[in-house]
Amino acid sequence: MNKNIVCIGAGYIGGPTMAVIAKMNPDRKVTVVDINEARIKAWNSKTFALPIYEPGLVDVVKEVRGKNLFFSTDIKKAVQECDIIFVGVNTPTKMFGRGAGRASDLQFWEATAREIKGWAKGEKIIVEKSTLPVKTAAAMDAILNCEDGPQGTVPAKKRFTVLSNPEFLAEGTAINDLMNPDRVLIGGPDTPEGREAVRELTAIYQGAGMKWVPSYKILTTNVWSAELTKLAANAMLAQRVSSVNALAGLCEATGADIDEVARVMGADHRIGPKFLKAGPGFGGSCFKKDVLNLVYLCETFGLHTAAEYWAGVIKMNDHQQERIVSRLFREMFNTLAAKRIAIFGFAFKADTGDTRETPAGTVVRLLAAEHAAISVTDPKALPNAKKDLADLDGIAFEADPYKAAKDADAIVVMTDWKDYLALDWAKIYKSMRKPALVYDTRNCLDARALRALGFKVLNTGK
């Protein structure tokens, strides 16, 4: 009999991942649970007004919701009725006590382990889907498998087997990343139960008769390697972005062009062309927290030089947004007070409404500190932008980019939405105060065409 699946955590990772698992395993029941009632309500919305925007997601949810995919707040029932439990709760940076500002805050994770232990009957496979510090599975194992009572003794036969199965999808391309992953990573203990659990999880990714992920792409390791690989992969990607942004500053100082430098560097197959796009710095919920987590792990194990090395990736990233505002300040005659600045794009990247750690948020706050008059526009992220900037007075939020740009002195393009390429830039130019400036931090617009219209144009790394 095929085993039923539950995922605890119905966020950016739990929702899309389980929707695709349900699609590719039509003979399994998949239930996604969360303590956040509003989120579950949105996942169950009759009009499919889902809580997150992700291209293609709504089609998958329409196909499977109510058939073999269910969203619920009844965690107890779901845990009791399933055999395999994915845990995809949030693991933000800890903001208090030991490791504050660097370590992972594991309180949601531990609460989940205790919930599972309280309600589960029989044997279960527990799958770490969240990104976690190395050795978290050992803590999970200790909490789940100790017997109740004063001694907390470990029984002869463990009821719970803990696997690590980190997720590598990127927002904006999540459905394609899930359907055609570069690899699926499964870390499991080298014990008879551990090997059996890895086989069970592998079967899910092979998809019942659906030929989903080919065997050669399912990579198995020990649990600690799996946990560390997830942090390492994000750190390597973040490091590439910081490296290219560090070079962008040098390009601006010397007359070199970062897009040309990146194109030629990337033509070397050992370097490769991806993740070499200079811009406003990386955002998103994970790169910063995962690199900081790596820094903390290095410090914990006394590897201080390695910790400093990874901390430099974050330092460089923060510097990138400072640099954008400093350059704008210089180019706008050393005062931004009362200047009207339109922020085009608030999402941390295109094709998502997610604004967690978005560089646009930092830039808006730095501009607000200079008393600039700011309007923000974004095709998908305005609701999140309003929440993020609720503590700032006087920010205008405009769904229509033409209205956001009206009477502005400058437009700062922070997200490379395709929509911005198709705008009538002549009309925008006419509606702005002169001299009209476009700072395209993503290098996504046609700078030559904008200059021909009369704009002064600034780019990253040029």
444 is catalytic: no
Query: Closest by alpha carbon to 444, among 322, 343, 350?
Result: 350
Q: Of the listed 7, 286, 298, 444, which one is catalytic?
A: 286
Q: Assess 39 for contact with ligand NAD (CB under 6 A).
A: yes
Query: Closest by alpha carbon to 293, among 130, 461, 60?
Result: 130
% helix / strand / coil in the chain, to the nearest 5? 45, 15, 45
Q: Assess 181 for contact with ligand NAD (CB under 6 A).
A: no
Residue-by-residue DSSP string for 80-96: HH-SEEEE-----B--S
Q: Which helix (H) or strand (E) holds 402?
A: helix 401-405
Task: Please answer whether residues 72 and 78 qualify as being in contact, where contact means their C-beta atoms are separated by less than 8 angstroms.
Answer: yes
Task: Please answer whether residues 67 and 26 qualify as being in contact, where contact means their C-beta atoms are separated by less than 8 angstroms.
Answer: yes
By C-beta, is 54 or 141 nearer to ligand NAD? 54
Q: Which residue is nearest to ligand NAD (CB)?
A: 11
Site for ligand UGA in 218-277 (CB under 6 A): 234, 237, 241, 275-277
Select the binding partner of residue 348 from ligand NAD, ligand UGA, none (C-beta < 5 to 8 A, by kind): ligand UGA
CB of 55 to ligand UGA, least distance (A): 13
Cα Rg, the chain, nearest whole Å? 24
Select the binding partner of residue 283 from ligand NAD, ligand UGA, none (C-beta < 5 to 8 A, by kind): ligand UGA
Cα(284)–Cα(267) distance, integer angstroms: 27
**CA 333 to each of CA 341, 365, 423, 432: distance values in angstroms, whole numbers, following the listed order:** 14, 20, 28, 17
By C-beta, is 237 or 412 nearer to ligand UGA? 237
Select the binding partner of residue 103 from ligand NAD, ligand UGA, none (C-beta < 5 to 8 A, by kind): none
Binding residue for ligand UGA, selected from 99, 279, 353, 379, defined by CB under 6 A:
279
Q: Assess 70 for contact with ligand UGA (CB under 6 A).
A: no
Select the binding partner of residue 130 from ligand UGA, ligand NAD, none (C-beta < 5 to 8 A, by kind): ligand NAD
Residue 46 CA to its chain's centroid (Å) = 27
Task: Tell me the longest C-alpha to C-alpha distance in the chain.
Answer: 78
Task: Please answer whether residues 117 and 314 qualify as being in contact, where contact means their C-beta atoms are separated by less than 8 angstroms.
Answer: no
Q: At what angle do helices 223-254 and 287-300 cross, to 10 degrees?
A: 110
Q: Assess 409 for contact with ligand NAD (CB under 6 A).
A: no
CB of 386 to ligand UGA, least distance (A): 20
Q: Assess 94 for contact with ligand NAD (CB under 6 A).
A: no
Q: Kindly determine how many residues on this chain lie close enough to bind ligand UGA according to the rule CB under 6 A.
A: 20
Structure tokens of 111? 């609460």
Q: Assess 11 for contact with ligand NAD (CB under 6 A).
A: yes
By C-beta, is 65 or 462 nearer to ligand NAD? 65
Binding residue for ligand NAD, selected from 2, 3, 35, 219, defined by CB under 6 A:
35
Binding residue for ligand NAD, selected from 286, 372, 404, 428, defined by CB under 6 A:
286
Strand order in the sheet with 84-87: 69-72, 30-33, 5-8, 84-87, 124-128, 160-164, 184-187, 218-221
Q: Assess 348 for contact with ligand UGA (CB under 6 A).
A: yes
Catalytic residue positions, numbered: 286
Q: Return residues touching ligand UGA (CB under 6 A).
A: 131, 167-171, 234, 237, 241, 275-277, 279, 282-284, 286-287, 348-349
